[in-house]
Structure 1
């Protein structure tokens, strides 16, 4: 579904990604783990058209998307849930969700997807008329995910969905990630909580200082001494 080959991304003179290569197959949950500043968010921004790579290949469903505008990439079926949620604080929950479907014209489909989002996130239904800036962190994360789903993505990019959330809410968010995947959406997940990320993923990549350092099945990385010491608290 997605093939990234030898991707280089710079911020000015600083190289954030150095020859990154990975692939995502349809139906998988792939997780990308690594320390702060390793390049995880930079990769997602390059995939969703928010950053232009200086070199390398991004093929999605057999077509290059390098240099395509972000809105075209959304229309092609890639939705990005950014780090920090980035909900529109002065708009209601309902308005945020409607914005997620901005590029769509199928009114009946939009209504059905809205119903499904509210079914998946009942808390959002209770607060649909509330300004998004007044929601809790967990509710904003649900809203950011719901908004992305309103674009009906084939591939969902999730950036740090558990950041700043209480442990019970983290469990809930990861259950929802598994449900979304079971319903047919392929997921590329960036997550600092390596335990949780590896528990839902089929395969994983470890990124260190802009390079892919390790890759394998989730079970292989969970068993790796290097991963245990660096990301799983030595367990």
Structure 2
């Protein structure tokens, strides 16, 4: 479904991605773990077309999206939930959700999907007329995920969805991610909570300083001594 080959990204003289390659197969949850500064967010933003790529290739559903605009990438079915939620302040929860559907023309489908979002996230329906900026961190994360789902993604890119959340909310967010996947959406997950990320993933990549250092089935990486010592607090 997604094939990233030898991808490079530069910020001036700094090389943030040094030839990263990865694959995401339909129906999978693929987790990307690594320390701060490893290049995980840069990779998602490069895939989404938000940052300029300086080499390599990105193929989504057999079509190159290397030079495609972010708008067209979203319309093709590849949608990102950014780190830090980035809900739109001054707009209601409902208006934020509808922003996710801004490229769609199927009014009936939009209304049906809105009902599904409210069923998945009942708190959003309860708060639908509330300014999005007044929601709690967990509620804003649910809103950001709901907004992305309103775009009907085939592949959902999630960037640090558990960041800043209380432990009980982290478990809830990961349960929701699993549910979204089981409902038919493929997921590429960037997450610093490596233990939780590996628990729900089918396959995983470990990034270090702009490179993929390790990859393999998530269960194998979770039992790897090197991964345990570096990211899981020891064996």
Deviant stretches of 4+, over 6 Å: none
Which residue in 1 is equivalent to 2:181? 181
> CA-atom RMSD, angstroms?
0.5
3-state SS of paired residue (1:147): helix
Q: Post-superposition shift, 1:89? A: 1.2
1:63-115, CA deviations, whole angstroms, 9 ceiling, x for partnerless residues?
10011110100000011000000000110000000000000000000000000
Question: 1:52 Cα deviation (Å)?
Answer: 1.7
Shift of 1:34: 0.2
SS at match of 2:233: coil
Where does residue 205 of structure 2 map in the other structure?
Answer: 205
Describe the SS at the equivalent of 1:17.
Answer: strand
CA drift of 1:42 comes to 0.3
CA drift of 1:189 comes to 0.0
Q: How does 1:5-24 map to 2 (within 5 A)?
A: 5-24=5-24
**TM-score, structure 2 normalization:** 0.99
Query: In structure 2, what is the equivalent of residue 30 of structure 1?
Result: 30
Unaligned ranges ≥5, structure 2: none
TM-score of the superposition, structure 1-length normalised?
0.99
- d(CA) in 2 for partners of 1:20, 1:172: 31
1:138-181 deviation digits (Å, cap 9, x = unpaired) = 00000000000000000000000000000000010000000000
Q: How many residues align?
A: 235
Distance, in Å, in 1 between the alignment partners of 2:192 and 2:24 is 19
**Which ranges in structure 1 are unaligned for 5 or more consecutive residues?**
none
SS, match of residue 129 in structure 1: coil
